[in-house]
Amino acid sequence: MRSFASHSEPKAAYAETGCPFCGDSPVDHFYAYSEGTIGVFFEKINRLPIFRTVSSFFFRIFNPILGRLVFSFLHSIGIAELTEDIETAPLLRSRVIWLEAKKRGFKMEQYLIYGRQSDFYRVQLGNRFIYFRSLPIPSKLEREDISWMDDKFLLKKKLKSKGISVPRSYTVSSKWQALRAFRKIKSLPVVVKPRTGSRGRHTVTFILDKEDLKRAFKVAQQINYYVQVEEQLFGSVCRATVIGGKLRGFLKANPPKVIGDGIHTVEELIEEKNRTKPDSIVDVIIKPELIEHIRRQGFTLQSVLPKDEVLALLFRTGRLFGGDTTEMCSSVHSTLRKELEYAAKILNVPVIGFDLIIEAPEEDPKEQKWGIIEGNTLPFIDLHDFAFSGGPANVAQYIWDLWEV
């Protein structure tokens, strides 16, 4: 098992810090809104053939040398300095890459900007240096600008056109458009989320009526003018990491849940869950997001949960929210494995992390309702190293293997 310290969470019974809709990874709303909205707007222009050609040329020719030019200059004037201290890496994703580099005898260094940590690195491979942000993905394997794949709407549109299962989804920019999408989907509940972004920021699930839809639209539009309204799938939220065309990691994650006994209230069941959980799973913290989530399912903290009723307390998954995770790449059903590898082939990308929802990954997906909900071109590969059970899976090794192709 890797020796890196795990994330920590406050253990108070009631807690509220920062934005209640950002979860455990708050972002500056103005920056997120500007970056996401402008990105979607320019992607519309970029889809024109002439702009696509120019963008592809820029990405393939200029992008590989940009890091070397910028950081060499910053280093020469004393703004940036290099360190070999792995503990300065701000993300576990970068640390597992660094650890694997050290195992292979590669000299990897991080750039400190004005003495502060960044997520930019260089590594020496033979007689050359490569420069990268967080994950060292060979530019020669990326045929064009892949930033559009982080756009939830465009990704699902592309995959759906090739027969890959995705939830029914609409992109909207007004409450009127959101209400129209709500009527079109028909299958309730629905999910509302920003069109770009990750970690479930400003996502609202279990929406069953128009009033909750309006509130959710307002929440999502705080960090992107463009909003997604899509049907809600049920099952585990899974991360499938495909590298070099092969499925190399598959993490199944579940939200915190309580099971009713017909006697105790939801709040009492949460208290009992926190008392009896394993130490490596964080306490379920009662805060507005949780209260609203169970309200949309028809419950309050004082509701007596019917016997054997299973209540998901949050849409967020994993042990950092009181849920659990299992690394299960070796037991994924062969048909699902082929579907995910085919999806990566369609996108023609060397590294991607798909988020999908499915009840039973080890069973035939053709007999289940499932779908890919988004893709991440800079995936958090460390998730596979630190699963609650079934791991660890050293996915970093396969990224370094790309340099030997």
Q: What is the 3-state secondary structure (H, E, C) of 196-264?
A: CCCCCCCCEEEECCHHHHHHHHHHHCCCCCCEEEEECCCCEEEEEEEECCEEEEEEEEECCEEECCCCC
Region 150-178 average pLDDT: 95
Region 275-286 average pLDDT: 94
Residues 384 and 265 in one domain: no
Judge whether 157 lies within some domain.
yes
CB contact at 8 A, 178 and 227: yes
Judge whether 52 lies within some domain.
yes
Considering 314, 339, 357, which residue would you say is the last residue of a domain?
314
Identify which has the larger pLDDT, 381 or 49: 381
CB contact at 8 A, 103 and 123: no
| C-alpha separations of 142 from 17, 194, 398 in Å | 39, 26, 16
Region 15-30 average pLDDT: 77
| Separation between Cα atoms, residue 83 and residue 300, nearest integer Å | 51
Residues 156 and 90 in one domain: no
| Separation between Cα atoms, residue 168 and residue 196, nearest integer Å | 17
How would you class 288 by CB atoms within 10 Å of its CB: exposed for 0-12, middle for 13-18, buried for 19 or more?
A: exposed
Region 223-237 average pLDDT: 96
Residues 297 and 265 in one domain: yes
pLDDT of 246 above 80? yes
Structurally, how many domains does the chain consist of? 3
Judge whether 211 lies within some domain.
no
Structural domain that includes position 89: 47-136
Residues 242 and 319 in one domain: yes
Region 329-357 average pLDDT: 96
**Which conformational region is residue 6 in: left (phi greater than 0), alpha (psi within -120 to 50 degrees), or beta?**
beta
Summarize pLDDT for 349-402 with one digit per residue, the tens: 999 999 999 999 999 999 999 999 999 989 999 999 999 999 789 999 999 999
Residues 245 and 336 in one domain: yes
Judge whether 350 lies within some domain.
yes
Considering 296, 314, 332, which residue would you say is the last residue of a domain?
314
* Residue 103: per-residue pLDDT: 96
Considering 267, 282, 314, which residue would you say is the last residue of a domain?
314
Judge whether 32 lies within some domain.
no
pLDDT of 249 above 50? yes
Judge whether 188 lies within some domain.
no
Q: Give the residue carrying structure tokens 């463009």.
A: 226
Residues 396 and 248 in one domain: yes
Residues 289 and 364 in one domain: no
| Separation between Cα atoms, residue 97 and residue 103, nearest integer Å | 10
Residues 129 and 278 in one domain: no
Residues 240 and 350 in one domain: yes
Identify which has the larger pLDDT, 260 or 130: 260
Judge whether 337 lies within some domain.
yes
Residues 342 and 290 in one domain: no
* Nearest Cα residue to 287 out of 7, 11, 60: 11
Residues 52 and 123 in one domain: yes
Residues 327 and 379 in one domain: yes
The pLDDT mean for the chain works out to: 88
Judge whether 63 lies within some domain.
yes
58-62, 191-195, 268-272, range with the lowest pLDDT: 58-62
